[in-house]
Amino acid sequence: MFVDVKFIGDIRLDGVSIEECTFDGCSFKNINFTKSIFKNVDFKKINARDDFSFNVKKINNCSFEGEMTGIRFGSSPISQTSFSGMLNDCSFFGHDQIEVVDLQKEIYKKIEPHEVANRMDLVDFSNASLVRCQFGNYCYLDKVIPPPIEENCISELTGYFYERIKDLVRKELPIDLSKKALMWLETFYKPDVRVPYGVIGPHDFKKSLGEVGALDFYKIFTLAAIECKTKV
């Protein structure tokens, strides 16, 4: 157990196996966990200033609690692991790379759920808030436990969902906001084999749409996901 320990510097913990361990109130700066195994490890009181990343073989039955900013999990296989608190600008990938069919035509190969490195199996976000987090490189989220509905909505990005939410945006938002919202939809939520699921929060687009507009956009996204049965 590590309590209030400072891990500072470009330290790469490569190939270690960490089990039955707790990091409580520790601080991390330029810490990279690589090719390691984490099992039954708890990270408590994570601070927004902490800077660490994972590119590991396994994260199983662990917990992360606190204010997490910019933590990079790469395509590390995560299972039966819980997150509580706020995750701001954190990133999770399903696969280590994008499979390209034709780069000039922007055609990419679809990677099926059973083929990805990180299946996000029973990853629990039920006590978390996801703020502008990235779920890319074939990151399937159908097996996660989602955050509360007032915090986030997770949806599979199907063609049907995309067309439905565009219709709702045009119908429900003022024309000046609908143009901006449609732009964000095309940027982040258009069907793409590389990004099968999308995540949104009620304040994610506050800077562009204003507080009320961002909340209305979030409600429309949630309604479309429920109607199309794509909501996780």
Q: What is the pLDDT of residue 106?
A: 79
pLDDT band (50, 70, 90) for residue 102: confident
Contacts of residue 104, Cβ cutoff 8 Å, sequence gap at least 6: none
Q: How far apart are CA 72 and CA 107, in angstroms?
A: 26
Residue-wise pLDDT tens digits, 149-200? 999 999 999 999 999 999 999 999 999 999 999 999 999 999 999 999 999 9
Total number of residues shown for the chain: 232
Q: What share of the chain is helix, strand, coil (3-state, %, to 5)?
A: 25, 40, 40
Q: How far apart are CA 130 and CA 89, in angstroms?
A: 8
**Taking 80 as the threshold, does the pLDDT of residue 53 lie above it?**
yes
Q: How far apart are CA 153 and CA 130, in angstroms?
A: 9
DSSP string, 11-38: EEEES-EEEEEEEES-EEEEEEEES-EE
Least confident interval from 31-35, 93-97, 103-107, 125-129: 103-107
Q: What is the pLDDT of residue 108?
A: 87
The two structure tokens encoding residue 231:
């909501």
Cα dihedral 194, 82, 40, 29, rounded to 10, equals 70
User: 18 - beta bridge partners?
Assistant: 38
The structure tokens 């006590």 sit at 127
Main-chain dihedrals φ then ψ at residue 171, nearest 5 degrees = -80, -40
What letter would DSSP give residue 117? S
Mean pLDDT of 57-65: 98
**Taking 90 as the threshold, does the pLDDT of residue 13 lie above it?**
no
Q: Percent of the chain scored above 70 by pLDDT? A: 99
